Amino acid sequence: MATSERLADWRLAVVERPKTTLFGGLFVLLFLDLLFKLVGVELTVGSASLLGGSLAVGRLVTLVWNGLVVGLGIGLAGIGLSMTYSILSFANFAHGDYVTSGAFAGWAAAWLVAGFGSGAFEGNALYLATVGFGPDGPSSAVLSINVFQTPLAVFAGLVVAVLGTIVLSLVLDRIIFEPMRDQSGIAVLIASIGVALALRYLVVFVFGARNRGLTAGGAKLILASVDGKLAFADKRSTVIQAQSGDVPSGAFYTELPVVDFGSYSAELVTISSAEMTLVVVSVVLMYALHVTLQRTKLGKAMRAMADNEDLARVTGIPTERVVRATWIIGGGLAGASGYLIALERGTLAFNLGWLLLLLIFAAVILGGIGSIYGAIAGGVLIGLTNSVSLVWIPSSFSTAAAFAIMILVLVVRPDGLFGGVTTA
């Protein structure tokens, strides 16, 4: 009886929620295909492949790691956009150029500090302050900026990126957005597009339009399998090779309780210092924001204003102070994300934020417009989809796959993963 009742419930769920059923079936199908690929099983009908194939574990691990890195960067940038919408009730199209401005400000500071430390500062101050724009100066190889060799430069750049974008966002709010508080959302949105264009070409005027390299590599953590064990090594260690199953000197290794990677396989994943910096700093900043929202008076005031601005004002909450705090937090995180994304990529161009803006919007919409946690979750999901989709489709279609997953989720949950307009 219990089994028949359970089957009846499932049939009812399929009839009442066909979209959810279709989405769930597609997810299960992709999961099974991925599982078959990992174990090397392929189901065919004639010459046509239905499921499975071949996929190395290392390839999947690399794709997941790359997706997580990209997703955290997008999620960090999306927090400010989500806060702006939930508290100020407009979509800020200048947010992408806040990301770019913070990146350039931070990298100007990082190059100046690194140049001073390497002895390349004298006579090259203008070149360093414009991140390689103008007359010839020291190359990124000479500066060798990374978190292990020049930690002070990396930290100084991050601080300047955050502070610089905070100042920029507050100034633009005072000059442009504050006088338009009572205007319609469309008017403010159009104004934000104008701000975006002005910022973009101001960056071009000061720093130039050339795409420039920023770093010269750095330490890497290499994970590979040797003799069925998981080996860890950095680039200064002996290169991991198959030598009759011997673990190379200079590598730390351990045996996992369940997973056996075989006698030898190629590197499972290589984690650069820049990627690890982005992941660690992003997680720390996100956790700090979570604590601020949930355990401070400011966080409670921001959540109250996002839920009902008029009621918040009547109960004595200083709404203008909350607005300033929104620009400070959102602008600071935008600047940090731009700086960290440029660090991870190793290059910087004037249209960095503009190219990321669609993905940032996709993450915010996917997570639920106005939800900070939704922006984080949406960013990670967009990043993972963009990367892991390479298992099935060419790289030129990976961005389209990220938007496709957004559409599929919105079909099932129109309000997004975390639905509703709220800062929490």
CA distance 69 to 388: 12
Question: Is residue 332 located within the same domain as residue 237?
Answer: no
Q: Kindly tell me the burial class for residue 73, based on how many C-beta atoms sit within 10 Å of its own C-beta (0-12, 13-18, 19 or more).
A: buried
69 in a domain, yes or no? no
Within 10 Å of residue 380's Cβ, how many Cβ atoms? Answer: 19
Q: Could you give the number of structural domains in the chain?
A: 3
308 in a domain, yes or no? yes
401 in a domain, yes or no? no
403 in a domain, yes or no? no
Listed in order, strand segments (DSSP E) in 14-63 are: 42-45, 48-52
The tokens describing 125, both together, are: 């101050």
386 in a domain, yes or no? no
Predicted TM-score (pTM) of the model is 0.85
Q: Per-residue pLDDT for the chain (424 aa), expressed as one digit of tens each?
A: 456 666 565 565 555 666 667 777 777 888 887 887 877 777 777 676 777 777 777 788 888 999 999 999 999 999 989 988 888 888 889 999 999 999 999 999 998 888 887 666 666 788 888 887 776 777 777 777 878 788 898 899 999 999 999 999 999 999 998 888 877 778 888 999 999 999 999 999 988 888 888 876 666 777 766 655 666 665 444 444 444 445 455 555 455 544 555 554 556 677 888 888 999 999 999 999 999 888 888 888 888 877 777 777 777 788 788 889 999 999 999 999 999 999 998 888 999 989 899 899 999 988 888 788 889 999 999 999 999 888 888 888 888 888 888 888 887 787 777 765 555 5
Domain that holds residue 34: 2-52
413 in a domain, yes or no? no
230 in a domain, yes or no? yes
203 in a domain, yes or no? yes
Which residues, including other chains, have CB under 8 Å from residue 22's CB and lie 6 or more apart?
none
Question: Is residue 183 located within the same domain as residue 330?
Answer: yes
